[in-house]
Amino acid sequence: MNRHRTAWQGALPAFLLLLFLALIFLSIRQSGSQEKEMTEEIPLQPQPQVEEAPSVPRQGDSLYAGTSCWLSQCLSKQDRQMLREAFALEDEEVYSFLQGPKSWKARRPWSGSWCRFRVEGNPFGGFGCGLCCMANIYNTLSPYEVSPLDMYDYARAVSNYSPSGAVGAIDWRDMRDSLKNCGFSCKLYKKPGSFQRFKKQIAKAKSAIVLVSSYEDDAYWQDTPGHYVNIWLYREEDGTVFLAEPGDPDKNRSRIPLRYVYDALKTSNQFQYLTVKGYTEEANQWKADGISVKWKRPKG
């Protein structure tokens, strides 16, 4: 999967650094000039002694806010939009692993030999949907690449995840704790009472893992008692999200109305979805990279 930007996008950080240094230089010169004028034109007067409150850094202070503050003040609205578009995630960059043996037998893109893995007779194709979703998030939002089976091993090491022959699916809290160890800020939610609230949460999130069930609504998923899927990139103009569907290669990597997801959320479960707000490299305690098992990497 091509994870590199175009040549001009690669040079953009250097350009921004030069712009930042130039702005600092101009600011220092301007500040010095203003101070000189004030000293010459306004005689100094004795000032009453007033006890000052402790200084608290604010987001508006440029030294506190860093480069982003300088850019927001000095770049035009059109230039800021171009920067957002240059670094925005696109559908084609999202990972979308498949869990089952039929996909691997047909060598469908995103399938892999992890489907053969079993826990006390319980096949990965029967419980690996959540682990595929977690691997999608790790690979898409971090600079590393792992397989769903790698994610299984890591979740067992850093959380209370303990699959068995009867129950193999990873639980919500184990999913959250594992992703936090991977550097992601994430939160668990119950289904809100209104679709509008759900839409706002998904629109702000980098990604989300949702639990759907055809018992709640079968407009899109049929014969599905409970299943984790991964959604990305809400699009306001048509109300759709990009779907990473580990259990169905025909539905995988399609755009569907977000309303389908909301209606099918499995309310009998303790939680219905997990949102990912961001990734921090310094907080990533794993930093694994490389898929050693056989899999069908998509072209490009």
Structure tokens at 70: 């300088």
- Confidence label for 38 from pLDDT (cuts 50, 70 and 90): very low
Work out whether strand 122-123 and strand 118-119 pair parallel, antiparallel, or are unpaired: antiparallel
Place of tokens 């792992």: 146
Give CB contacts under 8 A, 24+ apart, made by 119-125. 119/163, 119/164, 119/165, 119/168, 120/164, 120/165, 121/165, 122/163, 122/164, 122/165, 122/166, 122/168, 124/99, 124/148, 124/149, 124/152, 124/168, 125/99, 125/100, 125/101
Structure tokens at 61: 């202070």
- 82-134: pLDDT as tens digits: 544 445 799 999 999 999 999 999 999 999 999 999 999 999 999 999 999 99
pLDDT at 250: 97
Mean pLDDT of the chain: 83
Give domain limits for the chain: 7-40+62-87, 91-283
pLDDT at 88: 79
How many residues can be counted in the chain?
300
Instruction: Please check the confidence at residue 76 and state whether its pLDDT lies above 90.
Output: no
Radius of gyration, alpha carbons of the chain: 25
CATH of domain 91-283: 3.90.70.30
Structure tokens at 58: 């604010």
Instruction: Please check the confidence at residue 45 and state whether its pLDDT lies above 90.
Output: no
- Confidence label for 145 from pLDDT (cuts 50, 70 and 90): very high
Question: What DSSP designation does 225 have?
Answer: S
Mean pLDDT, residues 63-73 taken together: 46
pLDDT at 191: 98
Instruction: Please check the confidence at residue 59 and state whether its pLDDT lies above 50.
Output: no
Instruction: Please check the confidence at residue 11 and state whether its pLDDT lies above 50.
Output: yes
Instruction: Please check the confidence at residue 63 and state whether its pLDDT lies above 60.
Output: no
The contacts of residue 252 (CB under 8 Å, 6+ apart) are: 96, 98, 110, 243, 244, 245, 246
pLDDT at 26: 56
Q: What is the pTM of this model?
A: 0.74
Strand ranges inside 5-49, DSSP E: none
- Confidence label for 52 from pLDDT (cuts 50, 70 and 90): very low
- 242-300: pLDDT as tens digits: 999 999 999 999 999 999 999 999 999 999 999 999 999 999 999 999 999 999 999 97
